Amino acid sequence: MAVSSAGRRFLIFALACGGFGIGVSEYLVMGLLPQIAADLLPELSRSDPDAALAATGGLASAYALGVVVGMFTTPILTRRLSERGALLVCAGGMLLFTLLTAFAPNLTIAIALRFLSALAHASYLGVGAMAVAHLLGGGKYGRGAAVVHGGLAAANLVGVPVLTALGAGGEWRLILGGIVTLFFAVPFVALLLVKLPDEPAAAATQLGGAVRKRRLLLLISAAVLAAASSFVIVTYIAPVVTAARSGDVWLTTGLAMFAFGIGMNLGNLGSGWLADRAPSVAFSGVALAGASGAALLLVPDAGAVIAVIAVLLLGVCLGGASPSGQVLYMRELRKYPRLASSLPSGAGNLGSFLGALVGGAILAGSGVALLPVGALALMAVGMVCFVAYRVLGRARPETP
């Protein structure tokens, strides 16, 4: 059944809202870690705040792990469903488990619910991008991905800073359960009201090219470690900002997350423009931006301005990794375009999981001052992997 022009616009808007909800849900928890720790671990928060923050960082680790696990399991579970059915399952699951997280009585249950809410993350973004492409017509898969991932990037520019500021008073449950879930409800209701057009026949089997496993593993490793480098700091942004701003009390966590959102959008736009022309240059550029951000936080008594620039550069790294990675993954997995399109999200969230673990260990063992050192170490290893990936490719030139 044909979908009217108004119906198509409504569905595109609704699917972008889901991307916005994913971005808010994922990053808001990081900005509200002190409030969540004080609520779920009150005694530990009073006796050892850094340890409480490190433990509560398990919420970010669980979500990232859920994305990685869901990248493989959710497509299998929904393989017999249409795009509409798969998206309903994904949006409904994220809506339900995010809402339940807001009512979690303790940290253990909250961590489990965050894991469950993340299982649909990669599939929603991937299937949503395909659905938007079909709604736009003409096989515009790049634009489809830009719309859905654009919602996620916009969340970090607008939604996360605003809701972080609102939740600073300790009402994290109200923010997460009462506001964030609305963005998952929009695509769920829209898909119930308007049917997606029929899916075009898959063309994946017509694509050639063998999978070069060593190159692919090196590329994934580089992407994971680059993301982990930024997440070592971003996961614990509240104590990092407090330590770096020195006497500049005007810099709040909300303002820092706003700078992070600007960086993500700049990275997404810049890398998206460059990726089709020189994806390796784009990837290297955003990695350099992330390393520069971490290095700035090592400046003694950096102050608020340098801290803002540092956080913005970390956002550039995370926001710019997906467009460049998308092109590089598509080149390595020509025969499996759907898997390739899901890898940027999976690699980024595996990096989030690793970064939160490494950052938590550093925070609990050595304090906030050494978080940038850990970030730089991970980035250095990641770039070694990327150089090795490039060296292996010189013997077999690639075509776009």
Domain final residue, candidates 154, 171, 198: 198
- Shared domain for 219 and 142, answered yes or no, is no
Domain final residue, candidates 198, 224, 246: 198
Q: What is the pLDDT of residue 76?
A: 80
5 exposed, middle or buried (CB, 10 Å; 0-12, 13-18, 19+)? exposed
Is the pLDDT score of 261 beyond 60? Answer: yes
> What does the alpha-carbon distance between residue 126 and residue 128 come to, in Å, rounded to a whole number?
5
- Shared domain for 62 and 142, answered yes or no, is yes
User: Is 258 in contact with 315 (CB distance < 8 Å)?
Assistant: no
Write the pLDDT tens digit of every residue in 91-100: 999 999 999 9
User: Is 36 in contact with 175 (CB distance < 8 Å)?
Assistant: no
Is the pLDDT score of 138 beyond 70? Answer: no
> What does the alpha-carbon distance between residue 303 and residue 244 come to, in Å, rounded to a whole number?
6
Is the pLDDT score of 309 beyond 90? Answer: yes
Is the pLDDT score of 386 beyond 60? Answer: yes
3-state secondary structure 315-371: HHHHHHHHHHHHHHHHHHCCCCHHHHHHHHHHHHHHHHHHHHHHHHHHHHHCCHHHH
Average pLDDT of the segment spanning 261-276:
82
- Shared domain for 273 and 142, answered yes or no, is no
pLDDT category of residue 202 using cuts at 50, 70 and 90: very low
Is the pLDDT score of 200 beyond 60? Answer: no
Q: What is the pLDDT of residue 207?
A: 42
Q: Which of 123-127, 141-145, 233-237, 239-243 has the lowest mean pLDDT?
A: 141-145
pLDDT category of residue 384 using cuts at 50, 70 and 90: very high
Average pLDDT of the segment spanning 306-330:
87
- Shared domain for 257 and 373, answered yes or no, is yes
Task: Pick left, alpha or beta for residue 278 (phi over 0 → left; psi -120 to 50 → alpha; otherwise beta).
Answer: beta
- Shared domain for 215 and 354, answered yes or no, is yes
pLDDT category of residue 72 using cuts at 50, 70 and 90: confident
Average pLDDT of the segment spanning 332-348:
76
Domain that holds residue 254: 207-400
Q: What is the pLDDT of residue 143?
A: 61
Cite the beta strand spans of the chain per DSSP E.
none
For the chain, the domain total comes to 2
Most trustworthy range by pLDDT among 104-108, 255-259, 304-308, 366-370: 104-108
Domain final residue, candidates 179, 198, 217: 198
pLDDT category of residue 272 using cuts at 50, 70 and 90: confident
Is the pLDDT score of 340 beyond 80? Answer: no
Is the pLDDT score of 265 beyond 70? Answer: yes
Is the pLDDT score of 206 beyond 70? Answer: no
- Shared domain for 190 and 211, answered yes or no, is no
Average pLDDT of the segment spanning 205-225:
78
Q: Which of 47-61, 256-270, 301-315, 385-399 has the lowest mean pLDDT?
A: 385-399
Q: Which among 151, 85, 93, 88 has a CA at the least distance from the CA of 120?
A: 93
Write the pLDDT tens digit of every residue in 367-380: 888 999 999 999 99
- Shared domain for 234 and 292, answered yes or no, is yes
Q: What is the pLDDT of residue 114?
A: 95
CATH code for the domain of 46: 1.20.1250.20
Is the pLDDT score of 140 beyond 50? Answer: yes
Question: Which residue pairs from 213-216 have beta carbons closer than 8 angstroms and sit at least 24 positions apart in sequence?
Answer: 214/392, 215/332, 215/389, 215/392, 215/393, 216/332, 216/333
- Shared domain for 46 and 111, answered yes or no, is yes
- Shared domain for 224 and 171, answered yes or no, is no
pLDDT category of residue 144 using cuts at 50, 70 and 90: low
> What does the alpha-carbon distance between residue 191 and residue 189 come to, in Å, rounded to a whole number?
5
256's CB contacts (< 8 A; 6+ apart) are 237, 241, 307, 308, 311
- Shared domain for 234 and 189, answered yes or no, is no
Mean pLDDT over each residue of the chain, to the nearest integer: 84
Is the pLDDT score of 142 beyond 70? Answer: no
- Shared domain for 359 and 212, answered yes or no, is yes
Is the pLDDT score of 273 beyond 90? Answer: no
Average pLDDT of the segment spanning 254-270:
84
Q: Which of 111-120, 173-182, 278-287 has the lowest mean pLDDT?
A: 173-182
- Shared domain for 249 and 398, answered yes or no, is yes
